[in-house]
Amino acid sequence: MKKLIEVRNLNIAYAGPSGWTNVVQDVSFEIARGEAFGLVGESGCGKSTVAYRLLGYGTINSFVQTGEVLFDGVDLLKLGPASLTRLRGNRIALVPQNPTTSLSPGMRVGPQIREMIATHKALPDDTTMERRIVELFALVGLPDVGHRYPHELSGGQQQRVTIAMAVACNPDLLVLDEPTTGLDVTTQRQIIQLLSDLRARIGMAMLYVTHDLALLAQIADRVGVMYAGQLVEVAASDKLLSAPAHPYSRGLIASIPTMDGTDRQTRGLRGVLRRDQMSTGCKFEPRCDFATTACRTTPQALELIADARSVACMRWRDAATQQLPAVVAGPHGRTAARSERLLSVADLSLSYQRPSIVDKFLGRTTHSVVRDIDLELRAGEVVALVGESGSGKSTIARAISGRLPPRSGAITLEDGPLSPALDGRSAEHLRQIQYIFQNPDASLNPRSSIRSILERPLKHFGIPADGKTLETVLESVGLHAGYLDRIPDQLSGGERQRIAIARALLVNPKLLICDEILSALDVSVQARIVELLRSLKEKHDVAMLFISHDLAVVQQLADRVAVLYHGELMQMSETASLLTAPLHPYTEMLLEAAPSLRKDGHVSRPPATPTLKATPGIGCPFAGRCPRQPGSLCADTRPPIQETGSGFVRCHLPIDGLGRHARSPQHMRSPAVEDMRLQSL
């Protein structure tokens, strides 16, 4: 294969308050014409820095010490601004990480594509500009949205626009910087599908930067694993995923929660990437299970170990053969929850808008975000609430916690009713329900020490404590007393989340509400927090309402799962049976979209009747997107609740018909048109 672009011995340093830091060290790789190369690593490993250099771009405070980036034999790092301008967008194009902030907010999206084609004079001879733009939109599965502003499009649509823009001049190389981070699983899969499709049609090469190995399994031919600025392993993606050689790659793969149900015989990563704790030898040494004293002092470089495969580890052979005792146990540590009911939610409907006086007078009803929720938690049980963003998961949690008084419905804790509003609840009720938030950066007061953060709830609820109380709780979340005198800024994201969990546990709650508490963390950290929650569940006998969009994590933790779509419960089931027999078409779709570690060639099934729109509050909210709906019945009739062995399904299709062709190979090759939830001007 002919090399399209080659990176040689790239060394990049950043200027910081304490002098220069090396962020990229001796990185070399090449990408052939038409090849898809993936670059993977935890946040802060330098992968994006490398990627942007492929466009000849660096921030002002970064500095290339040595190295070359050869594109068609020309060193991009030595090119002047004018020549770079000619290459960028034209022959090397970027798909940015965050489409919402990357599209110019004051300009309609059509002109944003047009200016790119015009600048590079890349309009094919046989067409007009208008036609070309519509053609590009069609290529990425969008109708003509050229006259819309970016904020009028959904996240997935915005990303399609940036992709259309990137391929507008038929580039040779596409640099993709985490293009699906922040999108829902199903949208994520559609974008991946679109990219593979485009690659097949246009034949361009790709550099795909991500922290998500499972995604690379779907799209990349070869993968480079980066750690602390160095490439530690380069291999074909199937080889890497089935038999990783470097201990870091092994750990990274082991940290990914999957739903194949197999107990993997490896364990996740310890610690986090900290550039202030680097040994002079192998950078990974402080976190490596196979490290020897020699590792601490001997720097490691990439070595060819097999055909097209290289590793930077002198102990890779040992690492590949030696099996460590698995820490991960089966999916359920303790399934039998006690039978007494802890929390029950009946007929809950929620809305953020209070009906105004005018509305009340006219008898108008405002739209509820969440409708008719019935939910029950038994003592000590973990129930997961799953759904895409905007499905109302957190809204339900807010209502249970008392921060959003419901429009209708009742919430009962044990046998007494809970007051709908926070100020009506007794201190005892407040103590019994503890809430852990998504973002650990924001849930701890940055101006308080960990000690006062933990002491405050004890004082407030008048819980007696002695010198050991705080130490004990810190130990139970895997930290030590040394943390008490630190402030949140000195802690990593994972450590902060542990403090938030400790704060909740301190007051002996009966119910923990965990609101997406893993989504802001790196995969390796996620895996360890899941482990922690599992052990807490056993030791502390506390029930959890676990809110997540990630079915793989849910599988490891939850006893039962509730699936939410657009504010309505679609299905409620025991975890095991939900995963093996999803029944509801939406659950099915979610399960199929979650990427596995093997290339699965998944193509999302198009909706049966895309134009169908459900009558709000009456029809099935999934109508219009459902691949299996029987007809217009779904849109205007309320779907019945059908009891199943371990819960219920809300669907018009008869229960024995559901799940029958759950894995039908109806994979059609057409860019699925995302439902156009366009806001009106």
505 membership: H or E segment, kind and range: helix 493-506
- Residue closer to another protein by CB (options 266, 434) is 434
> Is residue 469 involved in binding another protein (CB under 8 A)?
yes
- Residue closer to another protein by CB (options 501, 594) is 501
- In the list 165, 195, 205, 404, the residue contacting another protein (rule: CB under 8 A) is 165
453 Rama class: left (phi>0) / alpha (psi -120 to 50) / beta = alpha
> Is residue 442 involved in binding another protein (CB under 8 A)?
yes
- In the list 9, 104, 128, 632, the residue contacting another protein (rule: CB under 8 A) is 104
Inter-axis angle of helices 185-202 and 155-166, to 10 degrees? Answer: 20
Q: Which stretch binds another protein (CB under 8 A): 26-34, 111-119, 219-227, 574-582?
A: 111-119
DSSP code of 518?
T
Q: Which amino acid is at 248?
A: Y
- Residue closer to another protein by CB (options 122, 278) is 122
Shortest distance (Å) from residue 435 CB to another protein: 5
Q: How far is CA 184 from the centre of its chain?
A: 8
| DSSP letter for each residue of 543-574 | EEEEEES-HHHHHHH-SEEEEEETTEEEEEEE
Question: How many DSSP H helices and E strands does the chain contain?
Answer: 24, 24
Instruction: Find the binding residues for another protein in span 492-521 (CB under 8 A).
Output: 503
- Residue closer to another protein by CB (options 297, 679) is 679
Residues 6+ away with beta carbon under 8 Å from 532: 477, 478, 498, 501
- In the list 341, 451, 540, 638, the residue contacting another protein (rule: CB under 8 A) is 451
Shortest distance (Å) from residue 221 CB to another protein: 24
38 membership: H or E segment, kind and range: strand 36-40
Q: Which amino acid is at 564?
A: L
User: Alpha-carbon distance 678 to 681, whole Å?
Assistant: 9
> Is residue 472 involved in binding another protein (CB under 8 A)?
no
Retrieve residue 531's tokens: 């482990």
Instruction: Find the binding residues for another protein in span 380-419 (CB under 8 A).
Output: 401-403
> Is residue 460 involved in binding another protein (CB under 8 A)?
yes
User: Alpha-carbon distance 260 to 349, whole Å?
Assistant: 36
Tell how strand 511-515 and strand 433-436 pair up: parallel
> Is residue 341 involved in binding another protein (CB under 8 A)?
no
> Is residue 675 involved in binding another protein (CB under 8 A)?
no
347 membership: H or E segment, kind and range: strand 341-350
Q: How far is CA 364 from the centre of its chain?
A: 38
Shortest distance (Å) from residue 460 CB to another protein: 5
Would you tell me how many other CB atoms lie within 10 Å of the CB of residue 277?
12
User: Alpha-carbon distance 429 to 443, whole Å?
Assistant: 21
> Is residue 178 involved in binding another protein (CB under 8 A)?
no
- Residue closer to another protein by CB (options 73, 106) is 106
Instruction: Find the binding residues for another protein in span 1-60 (CB under 8 A).
Output: 55, 57, 60
- Residue closer to another protein by CB (options 132, 534) is 132
- In the list 98, 419, 519, 596, the residue contacting another protein (rule: CB under 8 A) is 98
- Residue closer to another protein by CB (options 98, 279) is 98
Q: Tell me the site size for another protein, rule CB under 8 A.
A: 73
Shortest distance (Å) from residue 306 CB to another protein: 36
Sign of CA dihedral 249, 251, 256, 260: positive
> Is residue 668 involved in binding another protein (CB under 8 A)?
no
> Shortest CA distance to 387 belongs to which of 568, 208, 574?
568
- In the list 151, 360, 367, 660, the residue contacting another protein (rule: CB under 8 A) is 151
Shortest distance (Å) from residue 168 CB to another protein: 9
Q: Which stretch binds another protein (CB under 8 A): 25-33, 267-275, 424-432, 607-615?
A: 424-432
> Is residue 114 involved in binding another protein (CB under 8 A)?
no
Retrieve residue 336's tokens: 């039998």
- In the list 4, 40, 69, 94, the residue contacting another protein (rule: CB under 8 A) is 94
